[in-house]
Amino acid sequence: MTGIRAALGKDIMRELGSSQPTAVELEILRILWDLGPSPVRDIHARLYQAKGTNYSTTVKMLAVMLNKGLLKRNEQATPHRYRAALTRKQAGKSYLSELIEKVYDGSSMSLVLQALTTGKATRQDIAEVRKLLDDMEGQL
């Protein structure tokens, strides 16, 4: 089943040689995806709950991420409000492409098949996937 190749630019980003969301960074992104634009307090509250780390640490991480371009913030408001610079969907796509490329050897279908068997699907879910398949087939 190697018929399918990810149609995506492999390591475009690696070429640009920059940094990426690391462990804690991803955790913060998730919080922001969840909460929407938020002040440090709120972000910290969540992070603290999950990891028990210090307030300063949260502030610092936000600064680092802001610097990397992973976050944006509104400095007009007080306290400043931080928000993710990319959507969950965009991030997902990046991770997914990388995963397909590096582990599934470029075959997105291998991944799909595995993912399907990995989670529990409802009838609705299945129907939705079928619908998408129909659309895709229609476009061939």
| Helix 88-102 / helix 23-35 crossing angle, nearest 10 deg | 140
Phi first, then psi: give them for residue 74, nearest 5 degrees.
Answer: -95, 110
CB 88 → DNA: shortest distance, Å?
A: 18
Q: Which stretch binds DNA (CB under 7 A): 35-43, 84-92, 100-108, 115-123?
A: 35-43
CB 62 → DNA: shortest distance, Å?
A: 7
CB 52 → its own copies: shortest distance, Å?
A: 14
> How far apart (Å, rounded) are the C-alpha atoms in residues 122 and 129?
11
49 vs 124, beta carbon nearer its own copies: 124
Residue 36 binding target from its own copies, DNA, none, CB below 5 to 8 Å by type: none
> How far apart (Å, rounded) are the C-alpha atoms in residues 63 and 22?
14
